[in-house]
């Protein structure tokens, strides 16, 4: 894992001291709320419905067991004993008192963590494939570049007051698990003619009230030019992005209004100016950072396949868990494990302090102390021996973390919604819980197969509903919670934005409506191998709409 | 600024500066208990409550004061809107259910 160098440590410690003083001055009355608010936001401190909320960055979703234990300690000491993993590889604490936040930041700095740039109109936490460095289909580790981007974008003076927030995601595998086309900039690492590393770059993606998929601005940017090219994009955005209307301020609107060709032309002109200058990435530096992400000391040894098969035969729940929650690894004998934070009836993404400690212990025992956070609000042990799976499962089960539902209908993404969030119009979590309970039967879930439900409690779309196979958007209709359903969204390499299927549903009706959609899919699929998304793309929305509203609705 | 609330019965609410906790303007000072809140009726009382809010902001007791509508239920009052019901009673679900 990456370790802070003296510059990282210094700037994080400086920021802790700075913000501690700002909090002191705020409480002493030397700063007004108006003056203080942008400062607290720069440090990840929001004011939500019930309390302050602290959003902590987990850079490219990578956590050590030591860091996880620190998060557990903070949850226990300063919060209500749990934390919430978000769709942006962040962790949120929902109940810190403002007076405690300097101490929390100090504790975080001790384990090389912070909350800088988790809010505000700046470059946010760069996210990456949660299976980085592990998955069998990877051609280069995205964390190396995410770390380089982190260093470049942290406290970047030119980009601290952008027209609006800016999000970057990186993938280095053929399967896009980082939803790169739903980001302001999406980077896909590629290999060139001589196997040299480069980047295919998408720009202008994003969800929110105007969902757009990123458009390709360049099919290959050489490795050493990465930062120069990113800087060129940011400069064009900073110059032309709208500041008169916050709803039109994201780069997606600029790209949409001006057209990708025009933006490309300007970016290329800017790039030509700065290429090879101060932002040139020297090979030694790239290699130095890459060394932090070197593979752990894998053991070579025989796989005891019989032992695993036997354990699976003995315990059907374990067999389902292995089937759903493990992932092909590049190292023979190893696998990656998803730790589902979606127990039946639970709050998606929530982990209790004791569970965080358990995950840290399990990571130390079996996974080189390494943990990942996925944008799907689950945790991952990236490198574990297949031989250890029965023991890992047993340890996870003890911590109530062994739900074998990764990618199934109960693996629901949900934003905090109106239970916590000051922006929300409707609750998300209770809908997720009721859906999870409705589909609790694991055999039924397996029969349904891969399908994603994503729920947002407002148009800002933190729950990624636009890219859910089934998306649910909560709205306020005359004081009542109401839920609009979209179908056919997808976040990956075959990304698409879901389409609204028809009029919305009340909180009472929405779970039945989703079940009707799922049953319709089961009825119409060609065979169990045809996934929900594939079937939807083949069938279109008509049969689903008919099932929800009756055939008569089509004439209307 | 949000448009001015016009309702039969109102209460002034805000979040406490030090810990963000939901508070209400009471008969005498600030309270975390809606049952102890001062019920505000009519434009004059509303202005009085808002003035108390502005003063409390200046005194660093709270942030972002605003009026909400409340309705009489049983012997007491409760917020008219769901958002304020949740602010008053805490999250409706999860580990911090009813922690307000």
Do A50 and A155 belong to one domain? no
Which of A360, A173, A166 is closest to A251 using CA atoms? Answer: A166
Asked if the structure places residue A449 within a domain, the reply is yes
- Are A217 and A200 in contact by the 8 Å Cβ rule? The answer is no
**Span B34-56, average pLDDT:** 96
Q: Is residue B48 part of a domain?
A: yes
Q: Do A418 and B83 touch (CB under 8 A)?
A: yes
In DSSP terms, which residues pair with A485 in a beta bridge?
Answer: A472
Report chain B residues whose CB lies below 8 A from the CB of A430: 92-93
Q: Give B36's contacts (C-beta < 8 A, 6+ positions apart).
A: B24, B26, B27
Total domains present in chain A? 4
Contact across the interface for A419 and B81, Cβ inside 8 Å: no
Interface of A with B (CB under 8 A): 26-27, 29, 33, 47-52, 80-82, 94-95, 97-99, 347, 350, 352, 418-420, 427, 429-430, 433, 479, 481
For chain B, the average pLDDT equals: 93
At B87, the pLDDT band (50, 70, 90 cuts) reads very high
Residues of the domain holding A177: 142-292
CA distance B45 to chain A (A): 25
pLDDT at A302: 79
| Subunit contact A479:B82, Cβ cutoff 8 A | yes
Is residue B11 within 8 A of residue B39, CB to CB? The reply is: yes
Query: Which DSSP string corresponds to chain B?
Result: -PPPP--SSEEEEEEETTT--EEEEBSSSEES-GGGBPPB-HHHHHHHHHHHHHHHHHTTSEEEEEEEEEEEETTEEEESSHHHHHHHH--SSSTTTT--
- Measured between beta carbons, the chain B residues lying within 8 angstroms of A98 are 17-20
Say if CB A167 and CB A416 are below 8 A apart.
no
Q: How far apart are CA B76 and CA A273, in angstroms?
A: 69
The answer to whether residues A259 and A151 belong to one domain is: yes
Say if the Cβ atoms of A479 and B81 lie within 8 Å: yes
Contact B16, B9 (CB under 8 A): no
A296 CB neighbour count, 10 Å cutoff: 16
Boundary-marking domain end, from A338, A371, A398 = A398
In a domain, B14, yes or no: yes
DSSP for A297-366 reads -PPP----HHHHHHHHHH-HHHHHHHHHHEEEBSSTTEEEEEE-S--TTS-TTEEEHHHHHHHHHHHHHH
Q: Assess whether A362 and A450 both reside in one domain.
A: no
| Local confidence band at B1 (pLDDT 50, 70, 90 cut-offs) | very low
pLDDT value of position B72: 94
In a domain, A381, yes or no: yes
Which of B:28-87 have CB within 8 Å of A?
57, 60, 63-64, 80-83, 86-87
Answer whether residue A118 is part of any domain.
Answer: no
Cβ separation A80–B94 shorter than 8 A: no
- Say if residues A175 and A136 touch (Cβ distance below 8 Å): no
Which residue do the tokens 């929110």 mark?
A208
What residues of chain A lie within 8 A of the CB of B64, using their CB? 33, 47
A346 shares its domain with A379: yes
Same domain, A312 and A424: no
Task: Compute the count of residue pairs across chains A and B with CB atoms less than 8 Å apart.
Answer: 79
Helix, strand, or coil here: A513?
helix
Please enumerate in sequence order all residues whose Cβ is within 8 A of that of B37, keeping only pairs 6 or more positions apart, or say none: B11, B12, B13, B24, B25, B26, B31, B70, B77
Give the 3-state DSSP-derived string for A412-426, with helices as H, strands as E and coil as C.
CEECCHHHCCCCCCC
Inter-chain contact A430–B93, Cβ cutoff 8 Å? yes
- Quick check: B99 and A98 CB within 8 A? no
In a domain, B1, yes or no: no
Q: Which residue of A has its CA nearest to B23?
A: A50
- Provide the token pair at A14: 């400086």
Check CB contact under 8 Å for B64 and A52: no
Q: Please give the Cα distance from B3 to A411 (Å, whole number).
A: 40
Q: Do B19 and A51 touch (CB under 8 A)?
A: yes
Segments forming the whole domain that contains residue B51: 10-89
> Are A152 and A259 found together in one domain?
yes
Nearest CA in chain B to A26: B60
Within a domain: A65? no
Q: Tell me the ipTM for this assembly.
A: 0.95
Residue B65 in contact with residue B54, Cβ under 8 Å? yes
CB contact under 8 A, B93 and A80: no
Distance CA A397, CA A318 (A): 10
Sequence-distant (≥ 6) Cβ neighbours of residue A87 within 8 angstroms: A349, A375, A376, A377, A413, A415, A462, A463, A464
Query: Confidence class of residue B3 from pLDDT cuts 50, 70 and 90?
Result: low
**Would you call B91 an interface residue with chain A, using a CB distance cutoff of 8 Å?**
yes
CB contacts, 8 Å: B94 with chain A: 347, 350, 419, 429
Number of other CB atoms surrounding residue B3 within 10 Å: 5
CB contact under 8 A, B93 and A419: yes
Answer for the pair B29, B35: CB distance below 8 angstroms, yes or no: no
Report the alpha-carbon distance of residue B40 to residue B11 in Å, rounded: 6
What is residue B71's predicted lDDT score, i.e. its pLDDT?
Answer: 96
Low-confidence ranges of chain A (pLDDT < 50): none
With respect to residue A393, please indicate whether it lies within any of the assigned structural domains: yes
Q: Using CA coordinates, name the residue in chain B closest to A420.
A: B91
Looking at the complex, does the CB of residue B16 fall below 8 Å from at least one CB of chain A?
A: no
Residue A124: inside a domain = no
Give A423's contacts in chain B (Cβ within 8 Å).
Answer: none
Instruction: Write the residue in A33, A82, A419 that is nearest to B92 by C-beta.
Output: A419
User: Is A459 within 8 Å of A487 (Cβ atoms)?
Assistant: no
3-state SS class at A198: strand
- Chain A residues near residue B90 by CB distance under 8 angstroms: 50
When scoring A46, A51, A429, A435 by the number of chain B Cβ atoms within 10 A, the one with the most, hence best to mutate, is A51
The verdict on residue A403 lying in a domain is no
Q: Sorting pLDDT into bands at 50, 70 and 90, what band is B98?
A: confident
Last residue of a domain, one of A268, A292, A316: A292
Residue A256 and residue A155 in one domain: yes
Q: How far apart are CA B90 and CA B21, in angstroms?
A: 10
**Residue corresponding to tokens 């779309």:** A461
Q: Are residues A287 and A313 in the same domain?
A: no
> Do A434 and A511 contact (CB within 8 A), yes or no?
yes
**Coil/strand/helix, residue A103:** helix
Q: Which residues does chain A have within 8 Å of residue B86's beta carbon, measured at their own beta carbons?
A: 49, 418-419, 427
Least CB–CB distance from A350: residue in B82, B86, B95:
B95
Q: What angle do CA A208, A214, A218 make, to 5 degrees?
A: 155
From the CA of A81, how many Å to the nearest CA of chain B? 8
Domain co-membership, A106 together with A236: no
Residues of A in contact with B18 (CB under 8 A): 27, 97-99
Residues A274 and A372 in one domain: no
How many domains, chain B? 1
Q: Are residues A221 and A350 in the same domain?
A: no
- Is residue A67 in some structural domain? no
Let me know whether A510 and A469 are in one domain: yes
Residue A233, exposed/middle/buried by CB under 10 A (0-12, 13-18, 19+)? buried
Mutation site, B65, B92, B94, interface A, largest A CB count within 10 A: B94
Domain membership of residue B3 (yes or no) is no
Which of A261, A292, A323 is at the close of a domain? A292
Q: What angle do CA A377, A420, A445 make, to 5 degrees?
A: 40
Choosing among A49, A349, A415, A420, which should be mutated to test the B contact, i.e. which has the most B CBs within 10 A? A49
pLDDT the model gives residue B4: 72
Spatial distance between the Cα atoms of A43 and A17, rounded to a whole number of angstroms: 12
> Looking at CA atoms only, how far is residue B7 from chain A in angstroms?
15
Residue closest to A214 by CA, chosen among A164, A264, A159, A280:
A264
Residues A166-181 pLDDT 10s: 999 999 998 999 999 9
């Amino acid at each position: 894992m990456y370790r802070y160098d003296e510059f990282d440590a210094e700037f994080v410690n400086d920021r802790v001291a700075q913000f501690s003083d700002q909090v002191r001055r705020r409480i002493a009355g030397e700063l007004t709320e108006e003056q203080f608010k942008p400062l607290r936001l720069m440090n990840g401190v929001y004011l939500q419905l019930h309390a302050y909320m602290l959003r902590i960055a987990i850079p490219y979703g990578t956590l050590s067991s030591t860091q996880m234990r620190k998060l557990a300690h903070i949850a226990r000491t300063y919060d209500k004993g749990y934390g919430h993993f978000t769709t942006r590889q962040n962790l949120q604490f929902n109940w810190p008192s403002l007076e405690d936040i300097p101490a929390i930041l100090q504790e975080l700095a001790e384990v090389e963590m912070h909350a800088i740039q988790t809010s505000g109109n700046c470059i946010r936490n760069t996210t990456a494939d949660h299976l980085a460095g592990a998955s069998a289909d990877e051609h280069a580790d995205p964390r190396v570049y995410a770390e380089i981007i982190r260093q470049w974008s942290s406290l970047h003076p030119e980009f601290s007051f952008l027209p609006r927030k800016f999000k970057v995601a990186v993938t280095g595998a053929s399967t896009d698990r980082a939803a790169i086309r739903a980001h302001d900039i999406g980077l896909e690492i590629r290999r060139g003619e001589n196997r040299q590393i480069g980047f295919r770059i998408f720009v202008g993606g994003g969800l929110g009230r105007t969902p757009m998929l990123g458009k390709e601005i360049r099919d290959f940017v050489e490795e050493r030019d990465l930062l120069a090219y990113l800087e060129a994009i940011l400069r064009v955005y900073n110059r032309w992005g709208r500041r008169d209307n916050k709803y039109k301020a994201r780069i997606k609107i600029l790209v949409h209004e001006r057209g990708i060709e025009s933006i490309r032309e300007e970016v290329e002109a800017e790039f030509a100016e700065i290429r090879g200058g101060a932002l040139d990435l020297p090979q030694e530096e790239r290699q130095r950072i890459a060394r932090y992400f070197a593979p752990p000391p894998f053991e070579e040894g025989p796989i005891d396949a019989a032992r695993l098969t036997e354990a699976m035969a003995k315990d059907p729940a374990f067999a389902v868990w292995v089937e759903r929650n493990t992932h092909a690894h590049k190292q023979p004998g190893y696998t990656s494990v998803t730790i589902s934070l979606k127990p039946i009836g639970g709050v998606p993404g929530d982990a209790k302090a004791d569970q965080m400690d358990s995950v840290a212990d399990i990571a130390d025992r079996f996974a080189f102390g390494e943990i990942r956070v996925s944008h799907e609000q689950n945790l991952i042990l990236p490198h574990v021996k297949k031989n250890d799976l029965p023991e890992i499962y047993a340890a996870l089960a003890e911590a109530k973390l062994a739900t074998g539902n990764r990618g199934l209908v109960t693996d629901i993404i949900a934003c905090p919604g109106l239970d916590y969030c000051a922006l929300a119009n409707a609750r998300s979590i209770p809908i997720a819980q009721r859906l999870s309970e409705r589909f609790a039967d694991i055999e039924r879930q397996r029969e349904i197969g891969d399908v994603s439900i994503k729920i947002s409690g407002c148009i800002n779309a933190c729950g990624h509903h636009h890219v859910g196979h089934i998306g649910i958007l909560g709205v306020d209709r005359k004081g009542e919670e109401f839920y609009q359903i979209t179908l056919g969204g997808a976040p990956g390499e075959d990304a698409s934005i879901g389409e609204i299927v028809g009029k919305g549903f009340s909180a009472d009706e929405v779970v039945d409506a989703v079940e009707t959609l799922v049953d319709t899919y089961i009825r119409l699929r060609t065979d169990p191998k045809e996934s929900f998304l594939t079937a939807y793309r083949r069938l279109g929305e008509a049969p689903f709409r008919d099932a929800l509203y009756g055939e008569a609705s089509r004439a209307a | 600024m949000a448009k001015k609330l016009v309702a039969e019965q109102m209460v002034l609410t805000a979040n406490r500066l030090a810990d963000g906790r939901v508070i209400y303007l009471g008969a005498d000072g600030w309270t975390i208990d809606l049952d102890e809140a001062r019920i505000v009726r009519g434009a004059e009382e509303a202005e009085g409550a808002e003035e108390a809010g502005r003063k409390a902001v200046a005194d660093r007791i709270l942030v972002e004061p605003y009026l909400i509508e409340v309705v009489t239920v049983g012997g007491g009052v409760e917020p008219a809107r769901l958002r304020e019901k949740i602010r008053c009673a805490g999250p409706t679900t999860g580990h911090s259910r009813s922690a307000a």
